[in-house]
């Protein structure tokens, strides 16, 4: 249960409690105000009865009745007889009736649905006072929903800000880790290169030195890649097909015998602006992940689709695939399905493609037991 109860869940629960409490309180206030307004309408009905009585000689009662009618500035009223013939309207905005036929009749139907009418019995006949809600009561009923919208907006802004701060902190950690790794590799690499120079003096070591030099150059390239992660690399125009052919050749020699890596393209010239070392890192990471997912046999197809505005690169494998519920997490730092993985490869790959090459990388499709296809988009 704890995996679902993170800080975002608690924040949402607190917001729900605030809205629920506000809804309960305002509903209670609205109920009390509605009772007060009903009492005022009943007083108005009594005042109408007093003023319509020709036998009334009490000046005080008449004055009180007139004052009661004069004090009603907010509650809309319609006075109608037993046959719903409208006799008078009070506090109904005449501007709202412009262009609306039978506006008073429509309001009468509305008030009937809201409240039971107040009866005024004159002895010789009856009238009924139909009433709506004051502007204050209407606003009070809508207040919780306005408050809910404000809280949702506030929570959205807070979550976006916190996520941005979290991503920024993650980026700083990965950049710092990459820089430190490049720095730490520098000293032993320089030492190994010096030892190789000494070994070259003996011709018997020539073959071994040649192979060791290749590995040393490879380690230098890795250190250079780590060093470039924390800074903005310079993009240069290169033929993407040549770059991919070199990667395929390199990875094929280091793959199991039963794994075939192939490149498919409709043209031999696809010029793009890239940082060669970093782009190679991304492709090698995708191919290495594919190799891990295939268990020593299968195929990896790299398809290049050249379009006027962008270049699409699909890396398709025949591995075990990614479960649907994990697809959204594959680029998250720290996420890995490997027993000894750090979960940084795809996170850094996305950073390289998105931030440095202004492109995008995502899982195009994946099916458990059949394989996965990653797509890279490089925009011109």
- According to the model, what pLDDT value does residue 299 have? 95
pTM, to two decimals: 0.53
pLDDT score at 63 = 77
List pLDDT tens digits, range 310-361: 999 999 999 999 998 888 888 887 777 766 666 678 888 998 899 889 999 9
Whether residue 223 contacts residue 180, with contact meaning beta carbons closer than 8 Å, is answered with: no
Mean pLDDT computed over 287-308: 93
List Cβ neighbours of 379 (8 Å cut-off, separation of 6 or more).
309, 310, 358, 359
- Quote the CA–CA distance of 195 and 89 in Å, as a whole number: 104
How far from each other are the two terminal CA atoms of the chain, in whole angstroms? 47
Kindly indicate the confidence band of residue 242, based on its pLDDT and cuts at 50, 70 and 90.
very high
Residue 171: CB atoms within 10 Å: 16
Q: What is the pLDDT of residue 365?
A: 94
**How many CB atoms sit inside 10 A of residue 345's CB?**
20
Between residues 192 and 376, which one has the greater pLDDT?
Answer: 376
CB-facing half-sphere around the CA of 199: CA atoms within 13 A: 16
pLDDT value for 339:
65
What are the DSSP calls for 144-196, one per residue? HHHHHHHHHHHHHHHHHHHHHHHHHHHHHHHHHHHHHHHHHHHHHHHHHHHHH
Domain range summary for the chain, segments of one domain joined by +? 7-133, 161-214, 233-379
pLDDT at residue 216, as a whole number = 85
* Of 143, 139, 151, the residue nearest 18 (C-alpha): 151
What pLDDT is recorded for position 4? Answer: 45
Task: Give the per-residue pLDDT at 127.
Answer: 85
- The whole-number average pLDDT for the span 100-109 is 77
The residue among 275 and 332 whose pLDDT is bigger is: 275
More confident residue, 2 or 268: 268
Kindly tell me if the per-residue pLDDT of 30 is higher than 60. yes
Q: Show Cβ contacts of residue 321 under 8 Å, excluding neighbours closer than 6 positions.
A: 293, 366, 367, 368, 369, 370, 371, 372
CA 262 to CA 303: how far, in whole Å?
A: 9
pLDDT, residue 315, reads 97
Report the distance separating Cα 30 and Cα 25, nearest Å. 9
Between CA 88 and CA 15 the distance in angstroms is 47
Q: Are strands 258-265 and 297-306 parallel, antiparallel or unpaired?
A: parallel
At 245 the pLDDT is 95
Give pLDDT tens digits for 203-239: 888 888 888 888 888 788 777 777 766 667 789 999 9
**Sign of the dihedral defined by the CA atoms of residues 37, 43, 45, 47, in that order:** negative
Residues in the chain: 380
CATH class of the structural domain 233-379: alpha beta
How many whole angstroms from its chain centre is CA 122?
A: 65
Name the more confident of 124 and 354: 354
pLDDT band at 59 (very low <50, low <70, confident <90, very high): low
371, 365 contact by CB (below 8 A): no
Given a contact cutoff of 8 angstroms between Cβ atoms, the answer to whether 84 and 156 are in contact is no
DSSP assigned state of 79: E
Alpha-carbon distance 374 to 365, whole Å? Answer: 7
Rounded Cα gap, residues 19 and 294, in angstroms: 51
The pLDDT of residue 134 is 84
| Cβ atoms of residues 315 and 373 within 8 Å | yes
């Amino acid at each position: 249960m704890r995996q679902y109860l993170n800080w975002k869940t608690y924040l949402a629960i607190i917001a729900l409690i605030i809205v629920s409490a506000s809804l309960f309180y305002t509903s209670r206030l609205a109920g009390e105000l509605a009772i007060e307004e009903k009492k005022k309408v009943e007083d108005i009905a009594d005042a109408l009865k007093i003023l319509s009585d020709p036998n009334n000689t009490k000046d005080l009662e008449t004055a009180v009745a007139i004052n009661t009618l004069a004090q009603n500035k907010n509650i809309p009223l319609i006075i109608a007889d037993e046959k719903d013939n409208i006799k008078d309207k009070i506090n109904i905005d005449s501007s709202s009736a412009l262009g609306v036929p039978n506006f008073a009749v429509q309001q009468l139907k509305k008030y009937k649905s809201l409240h039971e009418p107040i009866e005024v019995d004159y002895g010789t006949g009856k009238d009924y006072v139909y009433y709506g809600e004051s502007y204050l009561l209407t606003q009070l009923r809508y207040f919780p929903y306005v408050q809910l919208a404000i809280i949702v907006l506030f929570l959205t802004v807070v979550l976006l800000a916190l996520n941005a701060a979290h991503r920024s902190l993650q980026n700083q950690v990965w950049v710092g880790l990459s820089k430190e790794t490049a720095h730490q590799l520098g000293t032993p690499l320089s030492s190994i290169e010096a030892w190789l120079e000494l070994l070259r003096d003996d011709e018997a070591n020539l073959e071994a030195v040649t192979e060791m030099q290749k590995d040393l150059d490879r380690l230098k390239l890795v250190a250079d890649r780590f060093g470039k992660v924390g800074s903005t690399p310079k993009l240069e125009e290169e033929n993407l097909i040549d770059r991919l052919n070199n990667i395929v050749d390199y990875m094929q020699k280091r793959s199991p015998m039963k794994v075939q890596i192939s490149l498919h393209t409709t043209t031999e010239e696809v010029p793009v602006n890239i940082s060669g070392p970093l782009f190679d890192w991304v492709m090698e990471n995708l191919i290495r992940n594919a190799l891990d997912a295939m268990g020593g046999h299968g195929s990896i197809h790299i398809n290049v689709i050249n379009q006027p505005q962008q270049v699409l690169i699909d890396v398709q494998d025949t591995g075990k695939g990614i479960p649907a519920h994990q697809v959204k997490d594959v680029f998250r730092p720290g996420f890995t399905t490997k027993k000894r993985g750090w979960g940084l490869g795809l996170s850094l790959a996305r950073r390289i493609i998105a931030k440095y090459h202004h492109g995008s990388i995502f899982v195009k499709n994946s099916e458990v037991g059949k394989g996965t296809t990653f797509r890279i988009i490089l925009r011109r």
